Amino acid sequence: MTGVFDRILTLLADGPMHMTLLDPASSTGKDGEGIALAAARAGTHALMVGGSTDVSSENLDELVRHIKDATRLPVIYFPSTAGAMSPSVDAIYFLSALNSRDPRYIIREQAKGAPLIGGLGIETIAMGYILVTPGMKVGTVSKADLITHDDDGIHAAVGYALAAQHFGMRLVYLEAGSGADTPVPPALIRAVKQAIDIPLVVGGGIRTAAQAAAALAAGADILVTGTVAERGGFEALAAIISEVTKRRSRSSE
């Protein structure tokens, strides 16, 4: 059976892709199922589940089971700590918050969770996670030295991204934070994309087709949106996914 990461690489061979993020603490059970179904119908390629706070094994597993009842899309756990786990997920982003000031979010939570993940046989996808201004709640919780939008910030982000690649991580994620009023700027995306050879994920603050188009033009391989879907903005979500689809169509011509 093809693994989730292999499926991601297969999709990326034909152009960029989109993932929808659902928070088990706010999009619970049946509500989350409805959002997941709407996202699937709009053309999202995968579903991510996770949040910065208030995620438990119970609400995580409940959401995952509802999602899998409604769609056949892969479900990837986007964890914050080792305190919650679901055996129902298809894969987990085994991520390190590279610009955190706290070893807990760089390696210690990962060390706690690793034996459990191994016991459950869940596919791991190693990811370098880089928090960008404004960072929002995840930036605060992870105690990140946020990447700024100026030349110094771009230089730092490139360094972190290259370090992730040299460590053998499979993805780099530039994250502005859920609900951010400003997404990751194109100049930052472009600089990181030009520096690395592994796929680049970009999320946080993307609410419009124009913002999605700018991120894609700068080199984002995977766009992640969450808030727009969780707040019922399905027309906006469809418009964002349409920008991804356009570029996939062009790459296959």
Residue 156 has pLDDT above 80, yes or no: yes
**pLDDT at residue 29, as a whole number:** 83
Strands 17-22, 75-77: pairing kind: unpaired
Cα end-to-end span (Å), the chain: 29
Structural domains in the chain, CATH included, are: 4-248 (3.20.20.390)
* Residue pair 186/215 in contact by the 8 Å Cβ criterion: yes
**pLDDT per position as a tens digit, 199-239:** 999 999 999 999 999 999 999 999 999 989 888 789 999 99
Evaluate if residue 34 carries a pLDDT over 90. yes
pLDDT for 1: 58
Structural tokens at position 164: 């992730």
How many residues comprise the chain?
Answer: 253
Closest CA to 16 of 223, 212, 175: 223
Q: How confident is the model at residue 131 (pLDDT cuts 50, 70, 90)?
A: very high
Q: Where are the alpha helices (DSSP H) in 177-253?
A: 186-195, 209-218, 227-230, 234-251
User: Which amino acid is residue 131, in one-letter code?
Assistant: L
Q: Tell whether the model's pLDDT for residue 27 goes beyond 90.
A: no
Supply the pTM of this predicted model. Answer: 0.96
How far is 31 from 45, CA to CA, in rounded Å?
20
Segment among 22-31, 96-105, 184-193 with least mean pLDDT: 22-31
pLDDT, tens only, 169-203: 999 999 999 999 999 999 999 999 999 999 999 99
